[in-house]
């Protein structure tokens, strides 16, 4: 809005035409940038199309930019359009370069079985239809051109949440590395932390593995006061900066996110949100409190079915979490709530029952039927 006003106002008066053209251009660019996030859920065909071509769709905006310059001459408008197109060009070049830095992974039997089932048999057609560029089909073994620290992550908002695939082997590896990294930093900084949410669920229900369709890591940390929040943000933020992880702070909601991709300078800082998924860890903050006469640990942001507390937060009885215990997860020891089963029951009720939390119902159904068959053949 500020940009539109800036372009529209000049010492000679108001240039309504330039302001209108810039407004139209910015709205168009907004949809190009937001399409991958909007397409987290099924959306219109045009939005799906923009999301699929997110790497270079921004460059298509050079045509309307040229038309605008042909219609109206306004130096401020020209500067805005040129800056926007320079950022789009930088994004395109970075994505092209990142696409080349991939390493080959083997898909295990279960990954392949899920992929084939969701594909309805024909992997090549399925891969082409959904633009699964990582999938390499050959006579010997089907392989996955996996993401690395230098490349963009696999677009698993699409693969996992919509197509109902297992999390890719590369992304699983990076989620594990991120979990290990943040937990070890929290221990070294003397914070009490525990595995939370789907991560704890994997540790307890899936014998210490990630859920097959995991798309983030959940850790929680106990803080005493505002000073310890400030210390957490400053010290963990410094570690992430030093070790090449992005750290975002959401002070009002009381959490931080740490992402696997390296920290970027402005204006590339926000480009991460243009990818269809990221390797991310959510670190939520809990504090000790009294709620209706009982000791609880509570957080500000809701989580699954965690009960509301007197202060308007969400929490569980203190003795379910503290003192924390340890659990084996991905082959290593992690801190977990003192009574992990009771904790999971507060979060999910009957947590042993698998919930197919895909965005797409048909993907969930196909996936459910595969698991039912697996169970039947396992018990027969």
Member of 50, 171, 247, 363 binding Zn ion (CB under 5 A): 171
Rounded CA-CA distance 367/159 in Å is: 13
Beta-strand pair 217-223/280-291: parallel
**C-beta of 166 vs 309, nearer to Zn ion:** 166
Considering the rule CB under 5 A, would residue 178 count as an interface residue with Zn ion? no
Considering the rule CB under 5 A, would residue 154 count as an interface residue with Zn ion? yes
Considering the rule CB under 5 A, would residue 152 count as an interface residue with Zn ion? no
Q: How far apart are the first and last CA of the chain?
A: 65
- Report yes or no: 123 and 142 within 8 Å, Cβ to Cβ: yes
**C-beta of 168 vs 186, nearer to Zn ion:** 168
**C-beta of 106 vs 352, nearer to Zn ion:** 106
Considering the rule CB under 5 A, would residue 363 count as an interface residue with Zn ion? no
Give the shortest CB-183-to-Zn ion separation in angstroms.
21
**C-beta of 68 vs 175, nearer to Zn ion:** 175
Member of 170, 297, 306, 344 binding Zn ion (CB under 5 A): 170
Rounded CA-CA distance 152/226 in Å is: 35
**C-beta of 147 vs 344, nearer to Zn ion:** 147
**C-beta of 102 vs 299, nearer to Zn ion:** 102
Considering the rule CB under 5 A, would residue 98 count as an interface residue with Zn ion? no
Rounded CA-CA distance 99/93 in Å is: 10
And the tokens for 319?
């003795």
Rounded CA-CA distance 47/37 in Å is: 10
Rounded CA-CA distance 236/233 in Å is: 6
Give the shortest CB-111-to-Zn ion separation in angstroms.
12
**C-beta of 80 vs 147, nearer to Zn ion:** 147
CA 169 vs CA 101, 112, 177, 297, 315: distances in Å: 16, 11, 12, 35, 34
Neighbours of 257 (CB within 10 A): 16
Instruction: Tell me which stretch binds Zn ion (CB under 5 A): 38-46, 153-161, 197-205, 355-363.
Output: 153-161
Considering the rule CB under 5 A, would residue 176 count as an interface residue with Zn ion? no
Phi and psi angles of residue 322, each rounded to the nearest 5 degrees, phi first:
-110, 140
Considering the rule CB under 5 A, would residue 175 count as an interface residue with Zn ion? no
Give the shortest CB-367-to-Zn ion separation in angstroms.
19
Give the shortest CB-154-to-Zn ion separation in angstroms.
3
Enumerate binding residues for Zn ion (CB under 5 A). Answer: 147, 154, 168, 170-171
């Amino acid at each position: 809005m500020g940009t539109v006003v800036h372009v529209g106002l000049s010492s000679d008066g108001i240039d309504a035409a330039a302001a209108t053209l810039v407004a139209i251009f910015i709205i168009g660019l907004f949809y190009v940038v937001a399409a991958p996030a909007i397409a987290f859920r099924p959306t219109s065909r045009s939005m799906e199309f923009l999301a699929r071509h997110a790497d270079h769709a921004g460059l298509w905006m050079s045509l309307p930019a040229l038309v605008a310059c042909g219609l109206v001459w306004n130096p401020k408008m020209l500067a805005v359009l040129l800056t926007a197109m320079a950022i789009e060009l930088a994004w395109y070049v970075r994505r092209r370069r990142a696409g080349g830095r991939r390493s080959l992974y083997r898909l295990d039997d279960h990954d392949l079985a899920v992929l084939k089932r969701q594909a309805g048999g024909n992997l090549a057609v399925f891969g082409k239809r959904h633009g699964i560029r990582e999938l390499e089909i050959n006579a010997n073994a089907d392989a996955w051109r996996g993401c690395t620290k230098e490349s963009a992550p696999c677009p698993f908002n699409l693969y996992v949440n919509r197509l109902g695939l297992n999390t890719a082997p590369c992304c699983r590896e990076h989620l594990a590395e991120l979990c290990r990294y943040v937990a070890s930093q929290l221990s070294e900084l003397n914070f009490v932390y525990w595995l939370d949410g789907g991560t704890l669920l994997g540790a307890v229900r899936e014998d210490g593995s990630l859920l097959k369709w995991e798309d983030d890591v959940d850790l929680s940390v106990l803080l005493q006061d505002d000073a310890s929040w400030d210390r957490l943000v400053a010290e963990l933020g410094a570690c992430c900066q030093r070790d090449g992880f992005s750290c975002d702070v959401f002070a009002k909601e009381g959490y931080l996110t740490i992402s696997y991709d390296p920290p970027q300078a402005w204006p590339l800082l926000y480009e991460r949100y243009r990818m269809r998924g990221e390797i991310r860890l959510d670190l939520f903050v809990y504090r000790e409190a009294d709620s209706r006469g009982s000791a609880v640990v509570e957080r500000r942001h809701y989580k699954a079915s965690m009960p509301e507390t007197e202060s308007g937060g969400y929490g569980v009885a203190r003795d379910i979490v503290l003192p924390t215990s340890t659990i084996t997860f991905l082959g290593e020891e992690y801190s977990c709530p003192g009574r992990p089963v009771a904790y999971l029951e507060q979060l999910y009720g009957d947590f042993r029952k698998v919930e197919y939390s895909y965005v797409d119902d048909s993907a969930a159904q196909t996936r459910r039927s595969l698991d039912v068959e697996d169970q039947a053949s396992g018990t027969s």
